[in-house]
Amino acid sequence: MIDAFARSQNYRVGIYVADKQRNPFNVKRAKEHVVIPDLNIEQICKFAKRYKHKIDFGIVGPEKPIINGIRDIVEKEIDIPLICPTKEYALEASKVAQRLLFQRVVPETNPKFKVFNPKDYTVTAVKREVNKWLNEIGNEVAVKPDRPAAGKGVGVWGDHFNTREELVDHFMSNIEYGPVIIEEKIEGEESSFQAFCDGKHLVPLPETRDYKRAFDKDKGPNTGGMGSYKDVGDILPFMTTVDKEKEIDIVNKVFRELRRRAASTDLRGIPFYDAFIHTSAGPKLLENNSRPGDPEIQNILPVLKDDFVDICYKMLEGNLIGVNLETKATVVTYKVPPNYGGFVDTFPERVKTDEANKPVSLVQAEKLAEKYKDAIRIYPASTELRENGNIYALRSRAVSVVGIGNSIHEAREISLEGTKEITGGSLWNRTDIASREHIRKSIEHMEKLRLSKR
């Protein structure tokens, strides 16, 4: 988003950034930059207050401050309008509330699910009820705590547990912290739906595909997302236009339900990054977020034809009814440190130990912008600019490389070339993001699922 603001042609933008660390990209472009490691909303509000006469509006990326009510506090205390929903509509705050909302409005998009609330059961009773539920729907399930991070978090059959006993153990380690959902594991191909929203209108954006698994061929643990792709048009190669229409219909139904009780601006922002799974029975909604997808939003913003500042003003005015994008494909590949996604434990021989403590150099990769006439973007993420002027990778996804092309393949080649030019920190990346092979498998999988329905 910082890049999209900095590239504005219609405005001279001064950017004030509250960041988790001294991100080199943001520091360079910000008029004022402050580090607030835990993104504490009172601290962010204090920072905004200092510059309130110079700030027209704010926009929020990560979910934590949205869930904690950053919009409510900043708008109330300093009257700076924010682009993100109010605390009440940060839907990802409760997985249970989400499922129940979908059940009221779009039940066909929910998998079979059951909510277990610790208040309703003794330990023995809850185990009995869980086993009863599993006897009904089978062991192939996902276990999802209502709120993240208390116990072991989301667990999926085949990934986190392989026996009923392990499954129940996983469930029990979470139920002591609050409600837990057990829902059927859905088979299909995943896509990310995103939309801009002014509180009244939803403007769907082209579909993207996120790669959650750490390693090539979708092996290894789930991560925040190792990369993503978008095709030249609105849908992905394994989707049909009907799939996209169904998604839009589902999201609109949820949106209309929220609007029945929300004030017209409460939902303003980018409240809809929805993870869908395309199944033999149509798209199923995995989750709904009030923030953009990371990396998925990086597939979109670099190919906006409209000025992002104008889009933001329209979101604030409540008159955003469409956006224009270039007909380009984009591929994002994240470079991540050795301890991310269990890489160092799985492939110790592939870690360049002599590079591990060296600073990350982006110079060569950034030079590719000349060769590719700006069809490449290098975005440092979990990296820090230190006093010595060097950039160091931290613990999470370190640098993303966005390739922009006339086809997915072209965009992928650019993105991969960029990753090769980033040195230091012993960073690694998946090499099959948006590969022909991976996309072919997705297409075949969907064909098989569609046929199985007939």
Site for ligand GLY in 224-253 (CB under 6 A): 224-225
Total Cβ atoms within 10 A of residue 55: 20
Piece of the chain touching ligand GLY by CB under 6 A; list 12-20, 39-47, 115-123, 291-299: 291-299
Neighbours of 337 (CB within 10 A): 24
Distance CA 336, CA 222 (A): 14
Closest separation in Å from C-beta 373 to ligand GLY: 28
Of the listed pieces 107-115, 288-296, 354-362, 446-454, which binds ligand GLY according to CB under 6 A? 288-296
Site size for ligand GLY, by CB under 6 A? 6
Q: Which is nearer to ligand GLY, 111 or 225 (CB)?
A: 225
Kindly tell me which of 189 and 296 has the beta carbon lying closer to ligand GLY: 296
Give 30's contacts (C-beta < 8 A, 6+ positions apart): 2, 15, 16, 17
210 contacts ligand GLY (rule: CB under 6 A): yes
**Stretch of 28-36, 128-136, 292-300, 411-419 contacting ligand GLY, by CB under 6 A:** 292-300
Rank residues 61 and 178 by Cβ distance to ligand GLY and give the closer one. Answer: 61
Closest residue by beta carbon to ligand GLY: 225
Could you tell me whether strands 202-204 and 155-156 are parallel, antiparallel, or unpaired per DSSP bridges?
A: unpaired
Instruction: Give the DSSP H or E segment for 174.
Output: helix 164-175
Burial 368-403 (b: 16+ CB within 10 A, else e): beeebeebbbbbbbbbbbeeeeebbbbebbbbbbbb
Phi then psi for residue 148, to 5 deg, are -70, 160
Q: Which of 145, 225 has the CB closer to ligand GLY?
A: 225
Residue 274 lies near ligand GLY (rule: CB under 6 A): no
Enumerate residues 391-410 that contact ligand GLY by CB under 6 A.
none
Contact yes or no for 302/369 (Cβ under 8 A): no
Give every CB contact of residue 378 below 8 A, 6+ residues apart in sequence. Answer: 362, 365, 366, 369, 399, 400, 401, 402, 418, 422
For residues 293-332, which are near ligand GLY according to CB under 6 A?
Answer: 293-294, 296
Positions 36 through 65 that interact with ligand GLY (CB under 6 A): none
Whichever of 62 and 237 has its CB closer to ligand GLY, that residue is 62
Question: To the nearest whole angstrom, how small is the minimum distance from the Cβ of residue 210 to ligand GLY?
Answer: 4
d(CA 268, CA 311): 12
Our CB check for ligand GLY shows the closer of 26 and 191 to be 191
The CA radius of gyration of the chain, in Å to the nearest whole number, is 22
Shortest Å, Cβ 370 to ligand GLY: 30
For the bound state, the minimum distance from the C-beta of residue 209 to ligand GLY, rounded and expressed in Å, comes to 10
Residues that bind ligand GLY (CB under 6 A): 210, 224-225, 293-294, 296
